[in-house]
Amino acid sequence: MSHPFATATRRRGAAALTALVALTGLALTAPPEAEAATVATHDRALQRSLEGLVRNPAVPAALASVRDKHGRVTNYTAGVADIRTRAKVPTDGYVRIASSTKMFTAVVVLQLAGEGRIELDESVETYLPGVVRGKDIDAEKITVRQLLQHTSGLQSNTFMDKGILPIRDRYFDARELLDSTLAQGPAFAPGTDWDYSNGGYVLLGLIAQKVAGRPFAELVTTRIINRLGLSETYYPGPGDRTIRQPHAKGYLPVDEDGKLLDITEFDPSIAGAAGQIIATPSDVNKFLVGLHTGKLLESRELAEMRKTVPTNLLPGWSYGLGLIKFDLSCGGTAYGHGGDADGYESRAAITTDGRAVTVVITNDQNAEATTMKLIEIFDAALCAKK
């Protein structure tokens, strides 16, 4: 069973339906802040598509936020926030963004690289001597770049093998997650293949923390969240199993009849630097705009982030340093990521002309057809002219 925060592979074996999207290396133009206001420019096709998704009993709610190239924001909802009370879905509510956290983790590492404190092609042994040890694992041969682009050969931890329910209230230290990853041995020799690895991103969080001498959550908060003014984005602290209000509840199917269990609250430490962040869809879009307009990284580091390698994702998709590049059906490209946390499945990306889209549904263990429909809706929203 793959980790619930992995965007690259579906539980049913279809490779990486969670990716998100991609873009060329063109620089984006930052929209004037004065224009970044919500306006009544609803895309009726997007609204109808979301309403179509929630006709499926397995998908209680859908949320979306679209930020156009001028900075104008439109939010969308469909379905219900609570299958028991039938409460309305809160506009732009908080969700677990899961593996979209990898973009934040990669930014912190690349910032440290830009400061000369990390070398992307240096081995992990340089930064955590004696820590990365396991059968057939040679830390001298694994580089920081390989961790960022999922070519290290490291796998994910095994704690999720029986699903989230046995461990929903269990706190995991990052070193404990790493030790579980290392105990499995490598999937392949470093640099010889590509495979999505949450374990690699947990290790990146430990490297950043060691180099900077501060807790990883603090690095994300001070270097990204506070810098961009992301008031609706946060890295949950130890023991925080809740999601801030307002939010739609997240659900987990628990039997063959499709019965849904409320899985909104659980300890997200199982994901750590690979997938722990909580945010609203509009704040994820703000992050994407800030990243691709140079507010977080210098041009050299942003260019490195956008360099991609082939993957085992869907045809034509490739992976950079914490970003997925995806060719859109309309002929363009966009950069972004996706996330699967138990209860929430999301996609987020930005196009070359600065159109940012985040779409979320409140069940991540969906049939392949549902996930593909979500990707189709996501692609259409990025291609839309409104």
Length of the chain: 386
Residues in contact with 3: Cβ distance below 8 Å, sequence separation at least 6, in sequence order: 156, 157, 160, 198, 270, 271, 274, 275
Of 75, 29, 20, 41, nearest to 385 by C-alpha is: 41
Q: Give the Cα separation of 7 and 372 in Å (integer).
A: 13
**DSSP codes, 280-300:** -HHHHHHHHHHHHTTSSS-HH
**DSSP codes, 35-66:** G--B-S---HHHHHHHHHHTTSTT--EEEEEE
Residue 244 is given by DSSP the state P
**99 classed as catalytic:** yes
Task: Please list the alpha-helical segments (H only) found in 97-250.
Answer: 101-114, 124-127, 144-149, 174-183, 198-212, 216-220, 226-228
Query: Omega before 236 cis (within 30°)?
Result: no
Of 99, 216, 194, 112, nearest to 147 by C-alpha is: 194
Distances (CA, A) of 274 to 39, 49, 196, 254, 329: 34, 30, 11, 25, 29
CA contacts within 13 A on the Cβ side of 273? 32
Structure tokens at 377: 């809706």
Place of tokens 């984005």: 233
Give backbone dihedrals phi and psi of 88, rounded to 5 degrees, phi first: -70, 145
Query: Catalytic: which of 65, 99, 197, 346?
Result: 99
Q: Give the Cα separation of 350 and 343 in Å (integer).
A: 24
**Which residues are designated catalytic?**
99
